[in-house]
């Protein structure tokens, strides 16, 4: 037999969950790497944020990620928040996106200067990636790479109690 106190506690948790879900709205998109490169180039995708550290992946990790894209391994979704103007700010996925932009020669440093494109190492399944850079790739592989889809989760609404710092902290705990 439940007491009035238990029912009140149950109703309270349901009410709190329902309220929090209304304040936290997400959407999902699948976009090609080429589209994401264009968004980054046009300033619609903000990579350098106050949430993440510097680009830290070494060449081995970068090569492994690029290899995963070419082979078609499942990749985790990239999490972004959308501001009032529609720009996306990366919450989770900074290292992965930086790797892509570095590989194609579009990664900008904090001053907005494009960095030199990465030449990769030999990889586990694709040893021919050794010394391969974007410019050396056959056009067929460049197009295949640019057309590869990536999943995005877009956070559209933040409440005062749930902000991007809290989400980042939970994802990276």
**149-157 β-sheet, strand order:** 25-32, 149-157, 78-82, 88-92, 45-46
pLDDT at 149: 97
For residue 135, give Cα distances in angstroms to 104, 118, 119: 8, 10, 9
What's the CA angle centered on 148, arms 32 and 56, to 5 degrees? 85
> Which range, 62-71, 85-94, 114-123, has the best average confidence (pLDDT)?
62-71
pLDDT in tens, 82-101: 888 889 989 889 999 999 99
* Residue with the larger pLDDT of the pair 166 and 42: 42
Q: Look-up: residue for tokens 């877009």?
A: 154
pLDDT in tens, 25-46: 778 999 999 999 999 999 999 8
Chain mean pLDDT for the chain: 86
Alpha-carbon dihedral sign for residues 98, 102, 107, 111: positive
Task: Inform me whether the pLDDT recorded for 165 exceeds 70.
Answer: no
Tell me what the mean pLDDT of segment 54-79 comes to: 94
pLDDT at 122: 97
Task: Inform me whether the pLDDT recorded for 48 exceeds 90.
Answer: no
Q: Which of 8-12, 62-66, 112-116 has the lowest mean pLDDT?
A: 8-12
β-pair partners for 29 = 152
Tell me what the mean pLDDT of segment 105-130 comes to: 92
Q: Which of 6-15, 70-79, 118-127, 153-162 has the lowest mean pLDDT?
A: 153-162
| 33 three-state secondary structure | helix
Query: Which two tokens mark 134?
Result: 């974007």
């Amino acid at each position: 037999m439940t007491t009035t106190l238990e029912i009140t506690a149950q109703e309270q948790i349901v009410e709190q969950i329902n309220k929090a879900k209304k304040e936290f709205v997400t959407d999902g998109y699948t976009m090609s790497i080429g589209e994401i490169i264009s968004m980054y180039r046009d300033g619609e995708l903000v990579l350098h944020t106050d949430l993440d550290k510097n680009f830290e992946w070494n060449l081995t990790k970068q090569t492994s990620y690029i290899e995963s894209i070419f082979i078609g391994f499942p990749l985790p979704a990239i999490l972004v928040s959308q501001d009032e103007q529609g720009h996306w700010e990366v919450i989770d996925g900074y290292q992965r996106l930086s790797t892509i932009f570095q590989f194609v020669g579009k990664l900008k440093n904090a001053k907005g200067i494009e960095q030199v494109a990465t030449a990769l190492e030999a990889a586990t399944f694709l040893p021919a990636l050794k010394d391969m850079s974007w410019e050396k790739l056959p056009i067929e592989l460049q197009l295949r790479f640019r057309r590869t889809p990536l999943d995005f989760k877009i956070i559209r609404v933040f409440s005062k109690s749930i902000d991007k710092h809290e989400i980042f902290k939970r994802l990276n705990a």
